[in-house]
Structure 1
Amino acid sequence: MCPDMFEDEEEQIDEFVKGLPVRIQENVSASAPTSMQKASQMAHKLMGHIEGRNKELAHRTTPKRSNGETPYSLVYGTEAVLPAVIQALSNRTENTKENEENLHLNLDLAEERRESALIREASYKKSIERYYNKRVKRSTFKVGDYVLRLNSTIKVEYEEKLGANWEGPYVISQAFGNGSYKLETTSGKAIPRTWNGVNLRRFYF
């Protein structure tokens, strides 16, 4: 039923509050709003707050692909009991004394758990690096080669979608063994800093 159908604003507020979730109802009623506008503003504010807390809880209790652990477990040494699980009968919610002893034990082992997660994360990053390196075709250049430079690496000149992707040409003036190069313009003016070969492309006249 639409609140606008009530002539008395107090009845409108009561009917509006009844249609809210229980947790929101209690807070809105406790604030004793004097108008529909204030009641609606309070409800929207509380719902946004709860939504934000739910997102934060989801982030803290979701295992990360890189290490297989949740942020919560790495801090406290154990997994969190979700609000929906608290109402269910389980050993963690019923046997509080044993659960407290286990929590202290998990805290003692938390450092070992973090170290294991760190090792798994390093291994995961290495596997990503190997996968990336297999797909990347590295370009090698020699002194005197003409190249174009990736425009997005030059923040001053880069114009995102409206600008050209490559600019130049430039000439390779020095080549280093680590895949970096020194550039100069076709007129012989040196370009500051070194440039990674990934950001260069061979240019043909």
Structure 2
Amino acid sequence: MLPIEVGSPSHRAINFDEEANEEGLKTNMELIDEVRDQAVERMEKYKEKTREHFSKKSRVKNFQVGDLVLRDIEASDPTNTGKLMPKWEGPYKVKDVLRPGTYKLLNMDGSEIPNTWHGLGLRKIYQ
């Protein structure tokens, strides 16, 4: 009870029933597992929707050996970017597909580029 309710009882203090209160607490304790299960289900649905939303942008681009591609400058040299700078550099040739979405590239003169490149940082050139 609040100190002010001691002197003049409030509606809450007048209508308080200890037995009903105890029974309500017991009912809540019995239903707590069900409430937790519902909360876990809601969290799983939320995680799935969030995963779907963010995976829309990360579709794996599939390139074949020999395809000509451009490489994102931000991925290759993040210090050389700017508002008026070109966004893509190349062309490069796909030398090898290491696994879906990961590629080894060649310069047009045949020299190999040392790193592997993710498909999100590449863009196909159509000729």
Report the TM-score range of the alignment, normalised by the length of the smaller protein: 0.5 to 0.7
Give the letter for the 1:159 counterpart.
T
Take 1:141 and 1:126, find their aligned partners in 2: how far apart are those partners? 25
Q: TM-score, normalised by structure 2?
A: 0.56
Q: Report the alpha carbon displacement of residue 101 of structure 1 after superposing the two structures with TM.
A: 3.1
Name the CA shift for 1:152/1:120 in 2 (closer, same or farther; >3 Å).
Answer: same
- Aligned twin of 2:4: none
Give the letter for the 1:105 counterpart.
M
User: What secondary structure does 1:115 align onto?
Assistant: helix
Structure 1, unaligned runs of 5 or more: 1-90
- Aligned twin of 2:29: 105
- Aligned twin of 1:170: 92
Q: Report the alpha carbon displacement of residue 115 of structure 1 after superposing the two structures with TM.
A: 1.7
Take 1:197 and 1:148, find their aligned partners in 2: how far apart are those partners? 11
**Structure 2 counterparts to residues 58-97 of structure 1, below 5 A:** none
Q: TM-score, normalised by structure 1?
A: 0.39
- The answer to whether the 8 A contact 1:139-1:197 is kept is yes
Equivalent of 1:191 in 93, 113, 118: 113
Which of the pair is proportionally richer in strand? 2
Q: Report the alpha carbon displacement of residue 129 of structure 1 after superposing the two structures with TM.
A: 6.1
Structure having greater relative contact order (Cα 8 Å, sep ≥ 6): 2
Which of the pair is proportionally richer in helix? 1
Name the CA shift for 1:170/1:106 in 2 (closer, same or farther; >3 Å).
Answer: farther
Take 2:90 and 2:36, find their aligned partners in 1: how far apart are those partners? 53
How many residue pairs were aligned?
Answer: 108
- Aligned twin of 1:143: 65
- The answer to whether the 8 A contact 1:151-1:157 is kept is no
Take 1:101 and 1:155, find their aligned partners in 2: how far apart are those partners? 62
1:159 aligns with 2:81: yes
User: What secondary structure does 2:94 align onto?
Assistant: strand
Structure 2, unaligned runs of 5 or more: 1-11
User: What secondary structure does 1:194 align onto?
Assistant: strand
User: CA offsets, 1:77-109, max 9 Å, x none?
Assistant: xxxxxxxxxxxxxx8xx86x749938x739944
Q: Report the alpha carbon displacement of residue 177 of structure 1 after superposing the two structures with TM.
A: 4.5
User: What secondary structure does 1:149 align onto?
Assistant: strand
Take 2:79 and 2:30, find their aligned partners in 1: how far apart are those partners? 54
